[in-house]
């Protein structure tokens, strides 16, 4: 009998109860005992929802207080060395200190979970030996069984992927690090077996990346050791985000089931099945529901795939699944009362995807029943209605696209230096300033129609004026207007462009308690009217110092939206770029000639297989250049990137041809700086000198150290000083104190430099 299986579920709750509990705890409004009780209640409610949906195999252990990778690291006792020097009152205090930092302790590095917009906390080894300190999956399994009668499927990150996601060891030590995990993983699995667990889901997404044959052999060795330790526990190895590498080796692993992604990895995994078949004695997790996008599954296509798969796999060995954890999609469509019916009827969030699992199971097992036929017909009509909507009509005209600046950077730079007359090591920020409670309340009142457009605009102008004065007092050299009119750096632009739709409650976790509400790109993207000119020009009227125009780049808007799946992503990126260059021209015509077009998600969008990088980077760079190239030589283009490992793509970053590129370095402790020792960078560069995602305020000495280290490999006349990212999530007092120190640090280092800017 075909079964249904889920791989993971959103933690945040239908009304973001999880986020609210976290932030109340951090603010001291919840005692630890109350916080733990609230988290337990949320956790059980999420499990109960899956139970009620009829899922046969419910994941246990995917819930987290912050991040599941951090959970795994601490379960194995991998506490960063700097946190071992301080006594913490309890485990929660240590846990959140590692994630968020403390005044005297830098938070652990945070980076992207493969090619998603979810951020995980990077485990740090530095010579530590992992030991199983507490069996968290076992505790959660017993809780679900006792409280709800759920015979759950514990979910753990596999040893290979966990080691790959970690840092703090040399490349040649990888095999040693991986083998050191065998004993604690074996103990974890033995304890689960002894408690009566039937299936354990072991997530190994790194098996879809460009690994080597030697690494695959290591995986085979490790799993053979684990199998020897627990010969009678059913192990289900789960992959996602792409087709597996070394398919034949993967399906030969000594496990009882293997999950494959037939959405992102459709072509590769299907070809593997056709050419190499699949072991008939193993379960196949058929990932045919998109766990990363919000469109309904095409039941006809799913039925065709199922029909082919059952040629190789017995029905009793097929599990119908999402392609990956549903962590990456919103919780429920229930509250989306304002979406156009044609669009809403083509969507499926996490709750609806569980219903799709039940539908497909019924359709596959009883294809000719009246209910199955009705469900297939309703699904077909919903998808056809969207496909035929006027918003998707093909335009007969393609714009002429400029993809190259009129002059090279070497010719532009003297023009900029003469125009702006900035000191060496100019200081600036990335764009946003704190969004305070009073500002959010004002925006709510405006959206609800309780205050007028003029009253709202006046409130925004007051914030802009306040922060222009503050920036001048702080001594910053290049200012920003603060982005007080923006809720989110992608949503704001989507609201003003054609082709986007917005949810009321479509929240998704990005990092920690930070949730984002991605727009939906459902139609053709078009420029409508100026989006940022009014606020930027007003800010510039208040100061003699330059004010940057602030835009979000085409690749980031693409990667941080739920994107239509009927066109190549490249074409959608070009549509967004065509719209953005119209905005850039409007800013330039209004006298704003220093314009920042942020691309924090450029690296995030890289395919997981290196052989596919070139094609992606080619069109991603082209999209950025479409959005920024048709400007005067005297206009200075900035961009910003954060929280990804950029060393591999420095050449592509150079190809963007931005005049100034700012990149995060503080949480990664300046590791990117070492990359510049190997590869010359000939554009303006700003390496973030402090981490804005942590509440701690760094010292001047810390910032000076980062600056001096950077200047040992980068030319001072090209160097800018800035925070890692925008300051939207920080309190005003935190932002001011940190910026004061940043400016003082820049001035101290500036005073030691003997060259003069050209």
420, 402, 415: which is closest to 628 by C-alpha? 402
535 in a structural domain: yes
pLDDT band of residue 651 (cuts 50, 70, 90) is confident
- Plot region of 512 (φ>0 → left; ψ -120 to 50 → alpha; else → beta): left
Long-range (24+ apart) CB contacts under 8 A made by 668-672 are 668/109, 668/111, 669/106, 669/109, 670/706, 670/709, 670/710, 671/647, 672/645, 672/646, 672/647
Residue 183: per-residue pLDDT: 98
Would you say 586 is a known binding-site residue?
A: no
Would you say 638 is a known binding-site residue?
A: no
Domain extent, residue 669, equals 409-751
Sorted by sequence, the CB contacts under 8 Å of residue 35 that are 6+ apart come out as 21, 24, 25, 92
The predicted model gives 143-165 an average pLDDT of 98
Sorted by sequence, the CB contacts under 8 Å of residue 567 that are 6+ apart come out as none
Residue 758: per-residue pLDDT: 44
pLDDT in tens, 715-751: 899 999 998 888 887 889 999 999 999 999 999 999 9
* SS3 call for 404: coil
The predicted model gives 20-28 an average pLDDT of 96
Q: Are residues 310 and 426 in the same domain?
A: no
363 in a structural domain: no
Q: Are strands 520-526 and 562-563 parallel, antiparallel or unpaired?
A: parallel
Phi, psi of 745 (to 5 degrees): -65, -45
Q: Are residues 656 and 549 in the same domain?
A: yes
* SS3 call for 691: coil
Q: Which two tokens stand for residue 641?
A: 């990137």
Q: Are residues 417 and 321 in the same domain?
A: no
Residue 242: per-residue pLDDT: 97
How far is C-alpha 610 from the geometric centre of its chain's CA atoms? 19
Identify the active-site residue in 119, 272, 328, 693: 693
pLDDT band of residue 32 (cuts 50, 70, 90) is very high
Expressed in angstroms, the distance from the first to the final Cα of the chain is: 75
390 in a structural domain: no
The CA distance from 668 to 673, in Å, is 10
Sheet containing strand 549-552, strands side by side: 549-552, 594-598, 636-641, 660-663, 684-687, 719-720
Q: Are residues 438 and 584 in the same domain?
A: yes
Residue 580: per-residue pLDDT: 98
- 757 pLDDT higher than 50: no
pLDDT in tens, 613-637: 999 999 999 999 999 999 999 999 9
Q: Are residues 461 and 583 in the same domain?
A: yes
Would you say 560 is a known binding-site residue?
A: yes
Q: Are residues 98 and 210 in the same domain?
A: yes
The CA distance from 79 to 98, in Å, is 8
684 in a structural domain: yes
Number of domains in the chain: 2
Residue 17: per-residue pLDDT: 97
Would you say 430 is a known binding-site residue?
A: yes
| Tokens 């992992």, located at residue | 130
Active site residue 693: yes
Would you say 604 is a known binding-site residue?
A: yes
Q: What is the mean pLDDT of the chain?
A: 94
Would you say 515 is a known binding-site residue?
A: yes
- 710 pLDDT higher than 90: no
Of 311, 328, 345, the residue that ends a domain is 328
The answer to which of 327-341, 514-528, 664-678, 723-737 has the lowest mean pLDDT is 664-678
Strand partners, 68: none
pLDDT band of residue 640 (cuts 50, 70, 90) is very high
Q: Are residues 320 and 419 in the same domain?
A: no
Q: Are strands 283-289 and 318-322 parallel, antiparallel or unpaired?
A: parallel
pLDDT in tens, 461-471: 999 999 999 99
380 in a structural domain: no
pLDDT in tens, 267-314: 999 999 999 999 999 999 999 999 999 999 999 999 999 999 999 999
Q: Which two tokens stand for residue 263?
A: 């959405």
Would you say 16 is a known binding-site residue?
A: yes
30 in a structural domain: yes
Q: Are residues 315 and 435 in the same domain?
A: no
Residue 53: per-residue pLDDT: 96
- Cβ–Cβ contacts within 10 Å for residue 606, how many? 21
Residue 663: per-residue pLDDT: 84
Of 296, 328, 360, the residue that ends a domain is 328
pLDDT in tens, 383-429: 999 999 999 998 767 778 999 999 999 999 999 999 999 999 999 99
The CA distance from 37 to 25, in Å, is 12
Would you say 677 is a known binding-site residue?
A: no
**Which CATH number goes with the domain that contains 58?**
3.20.20.210
Sorted by sequence, the CB contacts under 8 Å of residue 283 that are 6+ apart come out as 236, 256, 257, 258, 317, 318, 319
Q: Are residues 464 and 320 in the same domain?
A: no
pLDDT band of residue 649 (cuts 50, 70, 90) is confident
Range list of H helices, 475-520: 491-496
Sorted by sequence, the CB contacts under 8 Å of residue 653 that are 6+ apart come out as 602, 641, 646, 661, 663, 681
Would you say 598 is a known binding-site residue?
A: yes
Would you say 319 is a known binding-site residue?
A: no
Would you say 18 is a known binding-site residue?
A: yes
Q: Which two tokens stand for residue 444?
A: 């709510």
DSSP label of 31: -
- Plot region of 482 (φ>0 → left; ψ -120 to 50 → alpha; else → beta): left
Q: Are residues 301 and 429 in the same domain?
A: no
DSSP label of 505: S
511, 408, 462: which is closest to 724 by C-alpha? 511
Q: Are residues 488 and 611 in the same domain?
A: yes
pLDDT in tens, 107-124: 999 888 999 989 999 999
Q: Are residues 582 and 476 in the same domain?
A: yes
Please give the residue that has the higher pLDDT: either 6 or 711: 6
Q: Which two tokens stand for residue 280?
A: 């008939």
Would you say 271 is a known binding-site residue?
A: no
The CA distance from 566 to 569, in Å, is 9
DSSP-assigned states of every residue in 44-56: HHHHHHHHHTT-S
Of 281, 298, 328, the residue that ends a domain is 328
């Amino acid at each position: 009998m075909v079964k249904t299986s889920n791989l993971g579920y959103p933690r945040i709750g239908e009304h973001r109860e999880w986020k609210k509990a976290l932030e109340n705890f951090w603010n001291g409004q919840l005692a630890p005992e109350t916080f733990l009780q609230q988290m337990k209640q949320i956790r059980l409610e999420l499990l109960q929802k899956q139970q009620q949906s009829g899922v046969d195999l419910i994941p246990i252990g995917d819930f987290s207080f912050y991040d599941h990778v951090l959970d795994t690291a601490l379960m194995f006792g991998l506490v960063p060395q700097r946190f071992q020097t301080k006594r913490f009152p309890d485990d929660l205090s240590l846990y959140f200190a590692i994630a968020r930092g403390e005044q005297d302790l830098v938070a652990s590095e945070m980076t992207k979970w493969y090619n998603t917009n979810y951020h995980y906390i990077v485990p740090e080894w530095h010579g530590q030996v992992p030991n199983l300190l507490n069996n968290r999956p076992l505790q959660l399994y017993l809780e679900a069984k006792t409280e709800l009668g759920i015979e759950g499927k514990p979910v753990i990150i596999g040893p290979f992927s966990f080691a790959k996601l970690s840092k703090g060891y040399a490349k040649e030590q990888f095999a040693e690090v991986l083998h050191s995990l065998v004993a604690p993983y074996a103990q974890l699995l033995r304890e689960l077996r002894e408690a009566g667990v039937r299936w354990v889901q072991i997530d190994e997404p790194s098996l879809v990346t460009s690994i080597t044959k030697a690494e695959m052999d290591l995986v085979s060795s490790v799993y053979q050791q684990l199998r020897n330790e627990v010969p009678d526990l059913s192990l289900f190895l789960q992959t996602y985000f792409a087709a597996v590498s070394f398919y034949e080796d993967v399906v030969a692993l000594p496990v009882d089931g293997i999950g494959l992604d037939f959405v992102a990895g459709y072509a590769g995994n299907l070809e593997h099945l056709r050419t190499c078949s699949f072991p008939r004695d193993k379960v196949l997790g058929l990932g045919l529901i998109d766990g990363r996008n919000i469109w309904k599954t095409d039941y006809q296509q799913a039925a065709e795939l199922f029909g082919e798969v059952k040629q190789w796999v017995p029905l009793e060995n097929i599990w119908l699944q999402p392609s990956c954890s549903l962590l990456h999609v919103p919780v429920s469509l229930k509250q989306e009362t304002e979406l156009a019916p044609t669009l809403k009827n083509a969507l499926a969030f996490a709750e609806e995807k569980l219903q799709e699992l039940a539908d497909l199971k019924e359709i596959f097992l009883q294809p000719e029943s009246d209910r199955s036929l009705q469900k297939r017909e309703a699904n077909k009509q919903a998808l056809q209605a969207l496909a035929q909507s006027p918003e998707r009509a093909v335009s007969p005209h393609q714009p002429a696209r400029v993809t190259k600046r009129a002059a090279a950077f070497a010719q532009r730079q003297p023009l900029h230096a003469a125009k702006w007359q900035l000191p060496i090591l100019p200081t600036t920020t990335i764009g946003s300033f704190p969004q305070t409670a009073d500002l959010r309340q004002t925006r709510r009142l405006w959206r609800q129609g309780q205050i007028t457009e003029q009253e709202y605009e006046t409130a925004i102008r007051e914030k802009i004026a306040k922060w222009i004065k503050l920036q001048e007092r702080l001594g910053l050299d290049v200012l920003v207007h603060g982005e007080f009119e923006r809720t989110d750096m992608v949503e704001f632009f989507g609201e003003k462009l054609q082709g986007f739709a917005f949810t009321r409650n479509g929240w998704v976790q990005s990092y920690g308690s930070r949730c984002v509400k991605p727009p939906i790109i459902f139609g053709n993207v078009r420029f409508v009217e100026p989006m940022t000119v009014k606020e930027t020009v007003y800010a510039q009227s208040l100061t003699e110092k330059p004010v940057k125009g602030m835009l979000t780049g085409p690749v980031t808007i693409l990667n941080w939206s739920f994107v239509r799946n009927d066109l190549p992503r490249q074409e959608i990126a070009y549509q967004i770029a065509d719209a953005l260059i119209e905005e850039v021209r409007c800013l330039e015509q209004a006298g704003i000639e220093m314009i920042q077009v942020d691309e924090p998600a450029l690296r995030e969008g890289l395919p997981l297989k290196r052989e596919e990088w070139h094609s992606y980077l080619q069109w991603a760079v082209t999209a950025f250049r479409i959005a920024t190239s048709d400007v005067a030589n005297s206009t200075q283009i900035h961009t910003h990137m954060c929280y990804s490992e950029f060393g591999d793509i420095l050449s592509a970053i150079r190809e963007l041809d931005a005049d100034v590129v700012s990149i995060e370095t503080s949480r990664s402790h300046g590791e990117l700086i070492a990359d510049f020792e190997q590869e010359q960078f000939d554009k303006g560069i700003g390496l973030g000198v402090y981490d804005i995602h942590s509440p701690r305020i760094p010292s001047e000495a810390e910032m000076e150290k980062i600056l001096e280290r950077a200047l040992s490999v980068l030319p001072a006349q090209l160097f800018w000083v800035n925070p890692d990212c925008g300051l939207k999530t920080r309190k005003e007092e935190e932002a001011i104190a940190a910026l004061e120190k940043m400016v003082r640090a820049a001035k101290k280092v500036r005073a030691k430099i003997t060259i003069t800017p050209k």
